[in-house]
A and B are shown apart, each in its own frame.
Chain A
């Protein structure tokens, strides 16, 4: 079995992948009547580009030693990762109906022991990047050329542990480490830019010694280009891409309501959201 990049081998467009991810996330939200749907809709384009353009993996063997590792530090984004794992064929699509249910393999907060393709147990925020440092060190020690991707949030920029890992990645010249930051400018109580994520975020990472890019995370072309650059740069150290994303992207009436950490969706609105999404289906 060759190590394929699915996206490269498939004629399904990334736009379609992102749309499918949004749809699956909405279906799961509907099942449970809740879920971090704003985050899932916002990060769908980044996940589509990651799983169908950048990452190498074997859907039928999620623990394949040669896979690129994708760490979900933000456990509450699990709904988004389940959607992309289904789209990638790592999880069976029908399982969306069990999302968040008792005894489901897809608990509401992502945990490694429950779900194939979920590399780490996230949710205690600020832990992913440190684990990624260790995995990147381990891969180098084994001579394994895979990348480690860590998806984290702008809220996690507040945790001191994040910055310990930032410095460590530079110390060990981890050019196999790619950190993806979802900058939706939202955390539980308000805006990170009014708390600990003030100033020019790209410059901060750069000052620490990272190769840093900042792009519109809902512009698929820009996301793909940034992922290419992050993989291919000859920078002798770790790489970060800060993605500015819009919560609830793709469902206008949700985009336009007052955005909070936990976007409320009324019971009858899930079907409405799916209908709105349907109208915007890529050709």
Chain B
């Protein structure tokens, strides 16, 4: 293979222009998700962890040079004596967290999702999961939440961790999920990998279902509907709910089943919803279509003899482009408009 054949976009490219005639700028990693119409909560993870730590002295926090970028700085500033800055060393982060659990502590370890799932995987597998140690791994920049390109886009983290025995996996949608999840995963006796939205995080679920509360291991119907059932996780539940409102205008009645716990999957609820019948089932995830929620749901349905019309919305099996997030969400089919359009076409 020559070097030249490896180059995908080596040739000069024409830069796209936005509606104002100017090129469209990349959103920095600090940029929040576009979540129009929703209130936001600042650093829900950091505040929830701090609140819990005030009651539970076993809780400690560790990071690999990303406290500020995972909202762990809230905890670190308030409880410096219970915070460990491990430096930029993700493998060490995981080994050391395992060591802390061996001495009876309850560590929350943070980094970006790409670095936990890719660089530190073997350390998580052997030092943590194989021994079923209750390390809580909480990781920012899940899926396509940065325009910086594949080095920071964790498009296959769920696939990687789904293959790992003992691991509980969470893909929260919003601030409600994150705040609700922290004490529940802290109390969980095994290892947990959770994706994280950080900074100003939208509050989505309680607007659609005022009494919504995160429950570890449970899928919950946020909205009912008779034409299509969207089974979604992470911020794609927000996209699904927004798309459902658009579809309603066209007379399409969409239900949304939110599945924040990816593993163990809430098989009973998923089967019960799917068996209601007569609805197209669409999974929606901020993750590669390989190995994530969509394939997990498909397996549950097929192995239980439930065979509805079934479609998947997710990121393609590719290394994604760099660029502005709204552009990329549109391009890869996970914007509200694209979700609604795809569903309309399938009906």
Interface residues of A (CB under 8 A from B): 31-34, 63, 75, 95, 97-98, 100-105, 107-109, 111-116, 121-126, 155-156, 158-160, 187-190, 192, 194-197, 262
Contact = CB atoms under 8 A, between A and B. Distances in A.
A221 to B, nearest CB: 32
A113 B8 contact: yes
Interface in B102-159: 114-115, 118-119, 147-152
Given A158-B88, A190-B85, A111 B28 contact: no
Nearest to A113: B8
Contacts of B152: 109, 123
Interface string B316-346: 0000001110010000000000000000000
B272 interface: no
B91 interface: yes
Contacts, number: 131
Given A112-B6, A188-B69, A107 B149 contact: yes
A128 to B, nearest CB: 12
Contact of A124 (B6, B119, B323): B119
Most-contacted residue by chain B among A97, A116, A124, A192 (CB, 10 A): A124
B227 interface: no
A100 B86 CA distance: 31
Interface in B273-287: none
B29 to A, nearest CB: 9
Most-contacted residue by chain A among B65, B114, B324 (CB, 10 A): B65
Given A123-B148, A123-B152, A102 B24 contact: yes
B301 to A, nearest CB: 36
Contacts of B87: 158, 187, 192, 195-197
Most-contacted residue by chain A among B87, B88, B324 (CB, 10 A): B88
B3 A104 contact: no
A107 B148 CA distance: 7
Given A108-B147, A111-B151, A196-B87, 11 more contacts: A102-B327, A104-B15, A108-B26, A112-B6, A159-B89, A160-B89, A187-B65, A188-B68, A189-B85, A197-B87, A262-B28
A124 B115 contact: yes
A121 B152 CA distance: 12
- In the A-B complex, the 10 residue pairs with the closest CB atoms: A123-B151, A196-B87, A107-B322, A101-B23, A195-B87, A158-B87, A158-B88, A113-B8, A102-B323, A100-B26
28 contacts: A33-B25, A75-B151, A97-B23, A98-B15, A98-B23, A100-B26, A102-B23, A102-B324, A103-B323, A105-B13, A107-B323, A108-B322, A109-B149, A109-B151, A113-B7, A121-B150, A123-B148, A125-B88, A158-B65, A159-B89, A187-B65, A188-B69, A188-B88, A189-B66, A194-B85, A195-B87, A195-B88, A196-B88
B9 interface: yes
Nearest to B6: A113
Contacts of B69: 188
Contact of A195 (B65, B119, B149): B65
Contacts of A197: 87
Interface string B37-79: 0000000000000000000000000011111110001000000
Contact of B26 (A63, A102, A125, A194): A102
